[in-house]
């Protein structure tokens, strides 16, 4: 293929990446506006220059998803800016569980700390009768969530507004409350590569990483309908601690589920 040598040369520059060839392929596809594997012609000079510049940004540490401004999640496209955490495949565990276990035809769903909106909007898309409220403290993230609601034609069944989950009360009457809050302990976040490239506001969960679970859980209990579900994404080793927070607030049938990598990822409980 004509693009093979171009990709190989680019991948050689991406020595910091764990997936150099994939990164190069995604960036090249972005430049040529089609899957680079179906490009059977030489690159124009202009394309080559643009690709070269993007590979330079990636080589300097910028994540591919911020360079292209988008990321796939649950098989769908989500637009991103630097105010949004980049959607992770691990988070699909949370969304899939809620889709599989929901029995209500028209559940009311609240997604707290929604970022790009990938969790709440995926639920809105796959649970056709649902109505979803998405909130975040960051106006920049809310802009993206609104764009993504439009992109997926979900404006009519979604509402998007600013909410500080730590200090403000929650609206009431929900059947499902879901959140992937910041959960990395401050000292750990200080030493992580991800904190250099993604918003600290979306990652730092306070001294032990559990600040948001402690703040959200009792307010979520009050905001849920009887029989409603609270579902949290958690850090890989937080299953037990977050389960205890849910039980202490009155939730029953509290369970931990692992992601495809074998790490704790979802803690869910029901309001009696």
Contact residue for ligand GLN among 87, 182, 239, 269 (CB under 6 A): 182
Name 140's Cβ contacts closer than 8 Å, sequence gap at least 6: 81, 82, 83, 84
How crowded is residue 18: how many other Cβ atoms within 10 Å of its Cβ? 7
Residue 259 backbone class (left: φ over 0; alpha: ψ -120 to 50; beta: rest): beta
**Stretch near ligand GLN under the rule CB under 6 A, chosen from 24-32, 44-52, 180-188, 218-226:** 180-188
**Stretch near ligand GLN under the rule CB under 6 A, chosen from 23-31, 156-164, 179-187, 216-224:** 179-187
Straight-line distance from the first to the last Cα atom of the chain, in angstroms, rounded to the nearest whole number:
60
Contact residue for ligand GLN among 3, 130, 133, 180 (CB under 6 A): 180
**Stretch near ligand GLN under the rule CB under 6 A, chosen from 48-56, 162-170, 174-182, 237-245:** 174-182
- The C-alpha atoms of residue 116 and residue 76 are separated, in whole angstroms, by 13
Does 203 engage in binding with ligand GLN (CB under 6 A)?
Answer: yes
Contact residue for ligand GLN among 22, 194, 241, 254 (CB under 6 A): 194
> Least distance (Å) from ligand GLN to the CB of residue 234?
9
Please, is 71 exposed, middle or buried when counting C-beta atoms within 10 Å of its C-beta (0-12, 13-18, 19+)?
buried
**Stretch near ligand GLN under the rule CB under 6 A, chosen from 45-53, 67-75, 182-190, 216-224:** 182-190
Does 179 engage in binding with ligand GLN (CB under 6 A)?
Answer: no
DSSP class of residue 76 equals E
Q: Which residues are near ligand GLN by CB under 6 A?
A: 85, 88, 180-184, 194, 203
């Amino acid at each position: 293929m004509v693009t093979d040598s171009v990709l190989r040369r680019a991948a050689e520059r991406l020595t910091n990446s764990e997936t150099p060839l994939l990164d190069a392929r995604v960036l090249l596809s972005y430049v040529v506006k089609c899957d680079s594997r179906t490009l059977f012609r030489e690159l124009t000079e202009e394309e080559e220059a643009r690709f070269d510049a993007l590979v330079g940004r990636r080589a300097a540490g910028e994540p591919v998803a911020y360079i292209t401004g988008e990321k796939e999640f649950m098989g769908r496209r989500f637009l991103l800016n630097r105010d949004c955490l980049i959607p992770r495949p691990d988070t699909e565990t949370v969304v899939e569980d809620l889709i599989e276990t929901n029995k209500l035809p028209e559940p009311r769903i609240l997604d707290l700390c929604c970022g790009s909106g990938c969790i709440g909007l995926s639920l809105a898309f796959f649970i056709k009768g649902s109505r979803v409220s998405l909130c975040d403290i960051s106006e920049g993230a809310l802009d993206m969530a609104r764009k993504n609601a439009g992109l997926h034609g979900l404006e009519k069944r979604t509402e998007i507004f600013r909410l500080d989950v730590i200090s403000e009360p929650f609206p009431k009457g929900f059947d499902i409350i879901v959140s992937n809050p910041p959960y990395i302990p401050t000292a750990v976040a200080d030493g992580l590569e991800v904190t250099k490239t993604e918003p600290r506001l979306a990652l730092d969960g306070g001294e032990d990483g559990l600040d948001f679970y402690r703040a959200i859980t009792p307010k979520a209990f009050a905001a849920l309908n009887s029989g409603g579900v609270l579902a949290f994404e958690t850090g890989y080793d937080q299953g037990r601690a977050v389960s205890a927070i849910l039980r202490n607030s009155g939730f029953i049938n509290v369970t931990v589920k692992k992601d495809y990598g074998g790490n704790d990822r979802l803690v869910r409980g029901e309001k009696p």
